[in-house]
């Protein structure tokens, strides 16, 4: 019996070793990356590049993993532009081997964007423009994405502040502003970057000829000292613009009242005063604190918009005041549940026009798999507007919208989902 058990274990061990040996260096590197063993993953890929020098995917992963290690893990010792040059070289090699490698184009653009943020911190407009042009020349902003960025910007009212998600929407909009002088009245603010003191300082100052500033009422010391703030759920009152008060028939002294909840917690037990029962210390994250500050300092003067396609935790609870405008939401001074205008019908109609969708179908031949899914925003917007038309019995408008969906929006990527949308808007 014991001999059988020993033989069984020996067989399993040999089987496991054989499986490990069957995995290519590239596959082993992916396994290491999933475990966040970045150095090991990169080392395996460097060996794979020698073993399989014509595998575009190996160079793609080398570029991506080095990019990730530099910007998305802990700070990297010894980082300088020579490191970035190495990342560019990997993506260029991947694209030389496979010119249609969409995700290599995306990460090439992401590396350009990382360098562009350094240019922002240095207030270097020439370098800022250079990196966005470099990304465009490498194909990071195909026609369908340029069109998407224009639709984003055109949804905004004049002089708006637009909180974007990340690389897909922020970068293409920055490129349009810097190189096409397109809707430069709008200030783009990537919501995930507002916890960085250098970037907060940059958007406070702006950059002449490049980026319009936003009103930041913090001084230099406060900005450089951005950190998690001790916080319990607290109500904050925010001034509202006269235009919004008139639009929503609000009293002259009306203010937007927000219940701001903490979004960080520690295991440290704490009581503020001696008579209070101790509880876990909670904090307002730098990102949420700066978001609150920007809204508080600008809502009385400028329209504020948010992308619809980031994790809702980034919104800090503001989304109960979001009026849906298609691909974006407008911050309004009353809860959406308290108004019949949960969607801005005119904004949807301005978006869903044939002239705004001329390049959408090109996503099929110039696909960037990592981000191309954002075009399904058009499907969702079509469905939401159709429901509005059905509720308000606007039959002729609904017929035209169904025709637009069939002629310009359906891509054939997900027939089952596309059929569900068509059924939903047609019933």
Cβ 86 vs Cβ 59: under 8 Å: no
Q: To which residue do tokens 């075009």 refer?
A: 375
Helices (H), 138-254: 143-155, 167-180, 197-205, 220-224, 242-247
Strands 187-190 and 161-164: parallel
Q: Give residue 17's pLDDT.
A: 46
Burial level of 90, CB count in 10 A (0-12/13-18/19+)? Answer: buried
Q: Give residue 340's pLDDT.
A: 85
Q: What are phi and psi of 234, to 5 degrees?
A: -140, 145
Q: Which pLDDT tens digits describe the chain residue by residue (427 residues)? A: 444 444 445 455 444 444 445 899 999 999 999 998 999 999 999 999 999 999 999 999 999 999 988 888 877 676 777 789 999 999 999 999 999 999 999 999 999 999 999 999 999 999 999 999 999 999 999 999 999 999 999 999 999 999 999 888 999 999 999 999 999 999 999 999 999 999 999 999 999 999 999 999 999 999 999 999 999 989 999 999 999 999 999 999 999 999 999 999 987 777 777 777 777 889 999 999 999 999 999 999 999 999 998 888 999 999 999 999 999 999 999 999 888 889 999 999 999 999 999 999 999 999 999 999 999 999 999 999 999 999 999 999 999 999 999 999 999 999 999 999 999 999 8
Cβ 61 vs Cβ 55: under 8 Å: no
Residue 360: strand, helix, or coil: helix
- Tell which residue, 366, 374, 357, has the closest CA to residue 409: 357
Q: How many residues does the chain have?
A: 427
- Taking CA 312 as the corner, what is the angle to CA 319 and CA 333, rounded to the nearest 5 degrees? 10
- Tell which residue, 129, 65, 149, 74, has the closest CA to residue 103: 65
Q: Give residue 162's pLDDT.
A: 98
Cβ 184 vs Cβ 212: under 8 Å: yes
> What's the sign of the alpha-carbon dihedral 52, 53, 54, 55?
positive
CA gap 178, 128 in Å, rounded: 9
What does the CA dihedral 151, 152, 157, 158 come to, rounded to 10 degrees?
-90
């Amino acid at each position: 019996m014991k001999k059988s058990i020993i033989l069984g274990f020996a067989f399993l061990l040999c089987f496991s070793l054989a499986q490990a040996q069957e995995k290519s260096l590239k596959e082993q590197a992916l396994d290491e990356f999933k475990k966040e063993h970045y150095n090991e993953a990169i080392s395996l890929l460097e060996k794979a590049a020698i073993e399989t020098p014509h595998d575009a995917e190996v160079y793609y992963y080398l570029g991506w993993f080095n990019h990730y290690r530099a910007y998305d893990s802990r700070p990297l010792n010894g980082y300088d532009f020579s490191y970035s040059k190495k990342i560019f070289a990997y993506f260029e090699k991947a694209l030389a081997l496979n010119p249609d490698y969409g995700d290599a184009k995306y990460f090439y653009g992401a590396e350009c964007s990382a360098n562009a943020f350094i240019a922002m911190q240095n207030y270097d407009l020439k370098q800022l423009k250079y990196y966005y042009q470099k990304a465009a020349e490498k194909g990071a902003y195909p026609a369908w994405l340029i069109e998407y960025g224009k639709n984003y910007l055109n949804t905004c009212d004049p002089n708006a502040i637009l909180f974007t998600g990340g690389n897909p929407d922020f970068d293409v909009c920055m490129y349009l502003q810097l190189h096409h002088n397109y809707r430069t009245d709008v200030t783009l603010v990537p919501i995930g970057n507002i916890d960085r003191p250098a970037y907060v300082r940059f958007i406070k100052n702006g950059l002449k000829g490049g980026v319009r500033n936003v009103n930041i009422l913090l001084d230099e010391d406060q900005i450089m000292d951005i950190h998690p703030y001790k916080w319990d759920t607290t109500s904050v009152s925010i001034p509202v613009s006269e235009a919004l008060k008139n639009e929503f028939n609000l009293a002259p002294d009306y203010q937007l009242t927000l219940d701001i909840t903490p979004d960080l917690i520690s295991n440290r037990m704490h009581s503020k005063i001696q008579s209070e029962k101790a509880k876990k210390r909670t904090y307002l994250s730098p990102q949420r604190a700066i978001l609150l500050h920007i809204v508080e300092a600008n809502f009385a003067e400028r329209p504020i918009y948010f992308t619809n396609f980031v994790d809702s935790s980034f919104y800090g609870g503001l989304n109960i005041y979001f009026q849906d405008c298609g691909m974006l939401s407008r911050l309004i001074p009353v809860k959406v549940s308290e108004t019949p205008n949960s969607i801005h019908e005119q904004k949807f109609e301005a978006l869903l026009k044939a002239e705004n969708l001329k390049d959408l179908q090109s996503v099929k031949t110039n696909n960037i798999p990592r981000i191309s899914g954002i075009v399904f925003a058009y499907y969702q917007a079509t469905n939401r507007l159709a429901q509005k038309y059905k509720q308000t019995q606007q039959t002729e408008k609904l017929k035209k919208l169904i025709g637009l969906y069939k002629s310009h929006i359906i891509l054939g990527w997900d027939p089952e989902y596309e059929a569900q949308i068509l059924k939903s808007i047609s019933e």
